[in-house]
Structure 1
Amino acid sequence: MRVFLDCEFTKLSAAAKLISLALVAEDGREFYVELLDAWKEEDCSDFVKEIVLPQLWGGGNAQPITGARTALLDFLASFDEVLEIVTDAPQYDWELFCELAYDDGKWPRNVRNYPSDATTLDASSDGDPLPHHALLDARIIASMFTKSNPGKGLP
């Protein structure tokens, strides 16, 4: 099963730190988390401060890294089939996903250990820009590849 990944992070550099991560599965299941203790505002680019941070939802979505990892691993383990992670930014999103998904040197048993690059797949898109919110972006990316996933309403 394909699972579409999107992340928001502090800046476009090798020093990027994860702010939020979202997954949207072909069957419509979703996962979204915001990290509380993985980054600081001073780590962020001006773009992230102006566009990404104001869109964070907080509340129950915001967790420390340990809670976010547990929630992610529980979500991934809820699938019986092998998961193919698809992202439009493997050089950032995949690396940040791996940092959260690895637990004590172990990889989730049902997750393929390499991503699919969405930019190399056949997608349909109306060309609208992504809003730079991990869950909303992951929903849009998923909808480009799955006809049965019209997206869900905002919380």
Structure 2
Amino acid sequence: MKIFLDCEFTQLNQYSKLISLALVSQSGEEFYVELTNTYSLDDCSDFVIQNVLPQLDPLRCGQSLSDAQVSLRRFLGSFAEQLEVCSDEPNRDWKFFYDLVCADHQPWPVQVLNQPTNLAILFNEVDAEALEQVELSDPPHHALLDARMLAELFEALASRFALSP
């Protein structure tokens, strides 16, 4: 089963810190967490301050890093089938996902493939005309909404073209 990953983080450089992480499975299960103790406002770019932080709801979705790690492993463990993690930004998102899953030297979950699928490469295999047929809005820069959008885009393209479901 494919599971779509998106993350929001403090800035686009080597010092970026995770703000939120979302997973949306093909079967509709969702995981979303906003981290409450991994970054400060000073760590954030102006773009993040203006576009990402105002969308957060830490009272409802916030967790400490250690609680988020437990919640994520519980979510992944709820699946019996093998999970293929898909991201349009695997170079960034995968590191945050991997670090959250394997924190405190936890073993890798056996049902999760230990390598992401790069959706950007997959989507590039579909010609530009086909992509124009799928209505897309600008990404909202909210991890859960963006992960939902990736899942919907994949399903729309898979149903119209020869993408493996």
What CA deviation, in whole Å up to 9, does each residue of 1:49-82 have, x standing for no partner?
0100000022231000000000000000000011
Q: Post-superposition shift, 1:103?
A: 3.6
* Counterpart Cα distance in 2 of 1:127 and 1:36: 31
TM-score (norm 1): 0.90
2:66 matched to which residue of 1? 66
Q: Which runs of 5+ in 1 are unaligned?
A: 148-155
* Counterpart Cα distance in 2 of 1:42 and 1:107: 32
1:138 equivalent in alignment to 2:147: yes
| Counterpart secondary structure, 1:31 | strand
Considering only aligned residues, what root-mean-square deviation do their CA atoms show, in Å? Answer: 1.3
1:117 equivalent in alignment to 2:133: no
Q: In proportion to residue count, which structure has more helix?
A: 2
Matches within 5 A, 1:47-66: 47-66=47-66
* Counterpart Cα distance in 2 of 1:65 and 1:108: 18
1:82 matched to which residue of 2? 82
| Counterpart secondary structure, 1:79 | coil
Q: Post-superposition shift, 1:127?
A: 3.6
Matches within 5 A, 1:5-44: 5-44=5-44
Q: Post-superposition shift, 1:126?
A: 2.1
Q: Post-superposition shift, 1:145?
A: 1.1
| Counterpart secondary structure, 2:7 | strand
Q: Kindly name which structure, 1 or 2, has the bigger radius of gyration based on alpha carbons.
A: 2
Q: Post-superposition shift, 1:34?
A: 0.2
Aligned length: 147
Residues 36, 58 of structure 2: 8 Å contact kept: no
1:150 matched to which residue of 2? none
Q: Which runs of 5+ in 2 are unaligned?
A: 157-165
Q: Post-superposition shift, 1:107?
A: 1.1
| Counterpart secondary structure, 1:80 | coil
